[in-house]
Amino acid sequence: MSDPSSILSNIIAGFATAGTPENLMFGIFGVVLGTAVGILPGLGPAVAISLLLPLTFGLDPTSAFIMFGGIYYGAMYGGATTAILVNTPGSASAAVTTFDGHPLAKKGRAGTALLTAIIGSFIGGTFATLMLMLMAPTLVEVALKFGPPEYFALMLLALVLVASVGNDKFSKAVFATLLGIGIGMIGIDLQTGVVRFSFGVPELYSGVNVVLAAIGLFAVGEAFWISSGGGNSDDKNFTESGKRMSMNHAEWVRSGWAWTRGTVIGFFVGVLPGSGGTLASFMAYGVEKKLSKHPEKFGSGIVEGVAAPEASNNAAAGGSMVPLLALGIPGSATTAVMLVAFQMYGLQPGPLLFENSGDLVWALIASLYITNVLLVILNLPLVGVWAKLLELPPALIYSAVLVFSTLGAYSLKGSLGDVGIVYVLGLLAVILRKFQFPIAPVLLGILLGPLIEQEFRRSLSISGGDFSILVTRPLAAVFLLIALASIVGSIFSSKTGLRVSKKPATVVAD
């Protein structure tokens, strides 16, 4: 598999299998469905694939997986559309895209934002597929080196890097992050089975997960903000937004760097089991801002603020295929469903899959390239159509957002309890915004808090209660040092009004 010429001949054969008109049809269907579920809050690629599973029994595995690949990549892009246009991300991994995507739309440049998102998604997905093809076995070795202490340090670093993504007051960002971590602790504790902070409400036993949080804090939060008197519905630029879909030379260059960095970060975060697209997009945004010459412009609507996270979440989707194909371990909810699909076809992902069903694997890889191209071809013409959405009166847009959010939350477990959670988070978001607290760190806390806590406690279990395990492992120590430097930098810069800490962030990008 590592021999370049055999890779070439294999992938050509793969393209021959995947490129039949019939398979292309499945690819197109997958991308369209994926984009649709990406747009709808609450529904994601995992749900879409599991809905289609029973129908694919009669299909050739190749056709089925081409469709699934299309759904996965399509969904990762789809969430960006509504994030940019109406400030309501369709999926958690597009939450970051609202930071600069929506301000761009307000400036009348929704077309530009969608353009950089689409190209970013394409680059992220394509590069991830290339890496998957060339170095899956090597990457797996690296991923396995990550034990609980390394995960703990990495997640902590991610939290620190990203908690300061907004331009808000540092102490308020910290408070919002901690609040998110606290909300993330609600529910059954994984290590002991103890039910925490649920006040006897069974609906809270399974906790507030990141999907609910993204719907509540962002989609419902935005609609509530508008309905309780916020917003600027009479902005003329905004409604004319879709007509222009251009970037100037400097923006192409800046997007180019953002796509590249976002892709690399997203891919590696995706390879690590259990982290996923949301973390990838947050980290890409955080790093992009740390490296930028004008970090203060982030949040005001600049292209790299959209380019980086959108490239990153698609690259993460590709990255999560690495542990699935090379080890048979699902790294995300979507790949967990794909694993079931493999097993229903009598295939066992893992090193032997390449030997036993090489044709299928290469066809799958080829189809991932194809679905990426389809993603661009299908979605570019749609940009104008989407932008038309802005011509609708806000009353209708946000009513629809609320109804879709309600159904999205309901569809997860079929419980009105989740709908209640989403609304409570929506109210929380409005109150926090009213008092100038940033919302994104709350989501980040909900996402990362439980991971940090569990990895911390796993580390201590493994070491028998010895805290030194967190600093004696080299990789973990490096991550912690960067995190520490970043905190010091943030405190320093918030005191003096400067934004520094450029050096530590560079290390991360490497």
Does 218 interact with other proteins (rule: CB under 8 A)? Answer: no
**Which of these, 127, 133, 165, 129, lies nearest to 264 by C-alpha position?**
127
Q: What's the min distance (Å) between Cβ of 503 and other proteins?
A: 25
Residues 304-363 close enough to bind other proteins by CB under 8 A = 323, 327-331, 333, 336-337, 339-340, 343-344, 346, 348, 350-352
Residues 93-112 close enough to bind other proteins by CB under 8 A = 103, 106
In angstroms, the CA 346 to CA 289 distance is 46
Q: What's the min distance (Å) between Cβ of 260 and other proteins?
A: 27
In angstroms, the CA 24 to CA 449 distance is 41
In angstroms, the CA 337 to CA 53 distance is 9
Residues 412-441 close enough to bind other proteins by CB under 8 A = 412-416, 419-420, 423, 427, 430-431, 433-434, 436, 438
Stretch that binds other proteins, among 76-84, 89-97, 123-131, 395-403 (CB under 8 A): 395-403
Q: What's the min distance (Å) between Cβ of 182 and other proteins?
A: 5
Q: Of all helices (H) and strands (E), which one includes residue 187?
A: strand 187-188
Number of shown-chain residues binding other proteins (CB under 8 A): 135
Does 411 interact with other proteins (rule: CB under 8 A)? Answer: yes
Binding test (CB under 8 A) with other proteins, winner from 3, 4, 5, 192: 192
- 8 Å CB contact between 43 and 84: no
Binding test (CB under 8 A) with other proteins, winner from 7, 130, 172, 478: 172
Strand partners, 196: 187
Binding test (CB under 8 A) with other proteins, winner from 3, 4, 5, 54: 54
Biggest distance spanned by C-alpha atoms of the chain: 65
- 8 Å CB contact between 276 and 142: no
Q: What's the min distance (Å) between Cβ of 492 and other proteins?
A: 15
Q: What's the min distance (Å) between Cβ of 506 and other proteins?
A: 26
Binding test (CB under 8 A) with other proteins, winner from 15, 252, 257, 410: 410
Binding test (CB under 8 A) with other proteins, winner from 128, 143, 280, 303: 143
Q: Which two tokens stand for residue 34?
A: 């994926």
Binding test (CB under 8 A) with other proteins, winner from 3, 5, 199, 229: 229
Look at the block and give the residue holding tokens 């409604």: 239
Look at the block and give the residue holding tokens 């991994």: 93
Give 31-98 as a DSSP string: HHHHHHHHHSTT--HHHHHHHHGGGGTTS-HHHHHHHHHHHHHHHHHHHHHHHHHHS--SSGGGTTHH
Burial of 60 (0-12, 13-18, 19+ CB in 10 A): middle
Q: What's the min distance (Å) between Cβ of 279 and other proteins?
A: 15
Look at the block and give the residue holding tokens 């902070």: 197
Residues 262-291 close enough to bind other proteins by CB under 8 A = 273-274
Q: What's the min distance (Å) between Cβ of 365 and other proteins?
A: 19
Does 50 interact with other proteins (rule: CB under 8 A)? Answer: yes
Phi-psi region of 252 (alpha: psi -120 to 50; beta: other; left: phi over 0): alpha
Q: Which two tokens stand for residue 380?
A: 């570019």
76 or 347: whose CB is closer to other proteins?
347
Q: What's the min distance (Å) between Cβ of 421 and other proteins?
A: 11
The CA-atom distances, in angstroms, between 440 and each of 57, 134, 316, 408 are 41, 35, 20, 20
Stretch that binds other proteins, among 76-84, 152-160, 259-267, 453-461 (CB under 8 A): 453-461
In angstroms, the CA 397 to CA 258 distance is 31
Residue 394's φ and ψ, nearest 5 degrees, are -55, -35
365 or 419: whose CB is closer to other proteins?
419
Q: What's the min distance (Å) between Cβ of 190 and other proteins?
A: 5
The amino acid occupying position 172 is K
Does 22 interact with other proteins (rule: CB under 8 A)? Answer: yes
Residues 469-508 close enough to bind other proteins by CB under 8 A = none
Give 393-432 as a DSSP string: -HHHHHHHHHHHHHHHHHHHHT-HHHHHHHHHHHHHHHHH
Binding test (CB under 8 A) with other proteins, winner from 3, 4, 5, 194: 194
Residue 90's φ and ψ, nearest 5 degrees, are -75, -20
Binding test (CB under 8 A) with other proteins, winner from 16, 196, 201, 248: 196
352 or 507: whose CB is closer to other proteins?
352
Binding test (CB under 8 A) with other proteins, winner from 185, 373, 477, 478: 185
Report CA 251 to chain centroid distance, whole Å: 23
Does 171 interact with other proteins (rule: CB under 8 A)? Answer: yes
- 8 Å CB contact between 405 and 219: yes
59 or 376: whose CB is closer to other proteins?
59
84 or 181: whose CB is closer to other proteins?
181
Residues 24-43 close enough to bind other proteins by CB under 8 A = 25-26, 29, 37, 43
Does 465 interact with other proteins (rule: CB under 8 A)? Answer: yes
Does 461 interact with other proteins (rule: CB under 8 A)? Answer: yes
Does 230 interact with other proteins (rule: CB under 8 A)? Answer: yes
Q: Which two tokens stand for residue 478?
A: 């490096």
